[in-house]
Structure 1
Amino acid sequence: MADLVYPPVIAAARTMFRVLDNRIRIDGAEHIPRQGGAVIACNHVSYLDFIFCGLGARPAKRLTRFMAKKEIFDNRIAGPLMRGMHHISVDRSAGLASYREALGKLQAGEVVGVFPEATISRSFTVKEIKSGAVRMAAAANVPVVPMALWGTQRLWTKGRPKDLTRRHVPVSILVGEPMHPAKGDDWDIVTKELRTRMSALLDRAQAEYPDRPASDEDRWWLPAHLGGTAPTPAEAAELDRR
């Protein structure tokens, strides 16, 4: 499978982040296999997360194929790029085809990226996650690698204006040790363990983050339990229901 689109897109993104001095920290990239299939399961706080999650796999020289909603592929600008990078379109009304496509890529030795929370977390904590990541990894006999992003919400997140030209925003990408789910496992238990690991990575990313809000108005990007004004998980769930 030729990758004529993906490398230039990565190069353009890296150039933009360098120009804006968005300091990107990647920790734990050694946990991503350098060959063979793997599922990356990442938290979701920004519309840009697929870019940074993909960058997290680059030290291992891997290109990540993301599962993304069909509406992105229908966009006249984003669609050709998504198809050119061989990402996986997910039609939520008919998800079996996308699952089979992702499974095929894993069995062919590709890295597949998923956001098991399904939607952006308004609370900036890890929401309840779906079991698809661990089920897919078990079916393909590949590891699932937890990942956490922090800082990306300051650039563009749900309910806030995007600011893609904001300078000096640090972004943390933390990668955890792989899990090895197997057929016959209790999916509820394994999924809870994955969420626990993702949450621990996110907690560490938040604790080690070099920036703090510059004013009370700037506290919007911190979760409530750290003194921020982001919705609590319960409030965020109510906003999502609306």
Structure 2
Amino acid sequence: MEPVYRTLQLIAGALVRAQGVRRRYRGLENIPATGGFVLVLNHNSYTDFLAPGLGLTRVGRRGRFLAKSELTDNAMMRFLVKHTRSVPVDRSAGARAYRTAVDTLQAGHAIVVYPEATISRSFELKEFKSGAVRMAAEAGVPVVPAVHWGAQRQWSKGTRRRLGHARIPVYVSFGEPIEYPAAVDVDRATEELRAHMAVMLTDLQETYPEAPAGADWLPARLGGSAPTPESALIIEEAEAAAKARRRAAKAAADERKRR
């Protein structure tokens, strides 16, 4: 029994209903009924954990999300991460998070991974980190590729927030589990996983309601005003550099206070 997780499920369901989100799922039968697995998701919004997570609950599964360790700086988030058995990831000590994730998988739980690491401003798939394939192969569990579409209309980078009762459709597709041998070529398998999910995402987009030309949540490839992947990369690199400068300035200020 996990009362905190159950409470969060109820809250998430209430939020989705309050917003009038029209969820549509395909491939729920591909989610393993028992045992550990890695659910690999595309990352295009701040709310894209909701519909896929609620999809897991439809088949009686719960996902343990890999979460940035910065979230645990907040007492409430630290409590939630701990009691939902999520896995905080400190990029300066990634080996510890990786080990925890593998142990969690071997204990029969589902780990949810965003291999793009950060939100895609272009709403196209970015390059994937190899951790999902690596941990699945080591733990001896499958990867379940999954894509979703529509959540970026609610709240994402570079878009207008639409968090009211906007009745936004959010579609989620779960692919068939993929097994990897312990000796897998991780880099090649990761590239193939990304290519497979790109096809899944295109298929899902083709079933989605028609979008207005120039929409801020639509990729340039589909006639939207979102930046191209190349332009998005320039923006993201500038943001990362600015964040690094802020961290350095804060560290320097903290050091001066200690003196």
TM-score, scaled to structure 1: 0.94
Structure 2 residue 220 is matched with structure 1 residue 224: yes
2:68 maps to 1:69: yes
Letter in 2 for 1:238: I
Partner of 1:233: 229
Q: Tell me the amino acid that sits aligned with residue 187 of structure 1.
A: V
Q: Is the 8 A contact 2:217 2:226 kept in 1?
A: yes
Seen in structure 2, the aligned counterparts of structure 1 residues 161 and 70 have a Cα distance that, compared at 3 Å, is farther
TM-score (norm 2): 0.88
1:137 aligns with 2:136: yes
Q: Which amino acid aligns with 2:221?
A: H
- 2:7 paired residue number: 8
State the AA in 1 paired with 2:224: G
Partner of 1:220: helix, strand, or coil?
A: coil
Conservation of the 8 A alpha-carbon contact between 1:170 and 1:211? no
Residue 191 (structure 2) pairs with residue 192 (structure 1) = yes
Contact persistence 1:176–1:197 (CA under 8 A): no
What SS is found at the alignment partner of 2:233?
Answer: helix
Structure 2 match to 1:114: 113
Q: Which amino acid aligns with 1:140?
A: A
Tell me the equivalent position of 2:18: 19
Q: Which runs of no fewer than 5 residues in structure 2 stay unpaired?
A: 239-259
CA RMSD of aligned residues (A): 1.4
Counterpart in the other structure of 1:56 = 55
Give the Cα separation in 1 of the matches to 2:196 and 2:180: 14
Aligned length: 238
What is the identity, as a one-letter code, of the residue corresponding to 1:73? Answer: T
Q: Indicate the SS of the match to 1:228.
A: coil
How far does the alpha carbon of each residue in 1:82-139 deviate from its partner, in whole angstroms, 9 at most, with x for none? 2221111000111011111111110000000000001001110111101110010000
Residue of structure 1 in register with 2:77 after alignment: 78
Amino acid at match of 1:206: Q
1:170 maps to a residue whose letter is P
Match of 2:249 in 1: none
Query: Partners in 2 of 1:182 and 1:74 — Cα distance?
Result: 37
One-letter code aligned to 1:108: A
Measure how far apart 1:50 and its partner are. Answer: 2.0
Q: Is the 8 A contact 2:20 2:165 kept in 1?
A: no
CA contact (8 A) 1:155 1:166 kept: no
Deviation at 1:70, TM superposition (A): 0.6
Three-state SS of the structure 2 residue aligned to 1:94 is helix
Which residue matches 2:257? none
Q: Indicate the structure with greater helix content.
A: 2
Q: How big is the shift at 1:233? A: 0.7
The 8 Å contact of residues 136 and 142 in structure 2, kept in 1 or not, is answered as yes
Q: Which residue of 2 aligns with 1:126?
A: 125
Deviation at 1:211, TM superposition (A): 4.6
Give the distance between the partners of 2:187 and 2:95, measured in 1 at CA: 20
Identity of aligned residues (%): 45
Give yes or no for contact 1:222–1:228 (8 Å, CA) kept in 2: yes
Q: Does residue 40 of structure 1 match 2:39?
A: yes
CA contact (8 A) 1:134 1:187 kept: yes
Structure 1 segments of 4+ aligned residues over 6 angstroms from their partners: none
- 2:85 is paired with a residue whose SS is coil
Give unmatched runs, 5+ long, in structure 1: none
Query: Is 1:73–1:83's contact at 8 Å kept on the other side of the alignment?
Result: no
**TM-fit CA distance, 1:16:** 2.0
Secondary structure class of the residue paired with 1:54: helix
CA separation in 1, counterparts of 2:42 and 2:55?
13
Return the index of the structure with the highest Cα Rg: 2
Equivalent-residue separation in structure 1 for 2:4 and 2:163 (angstroms): 22
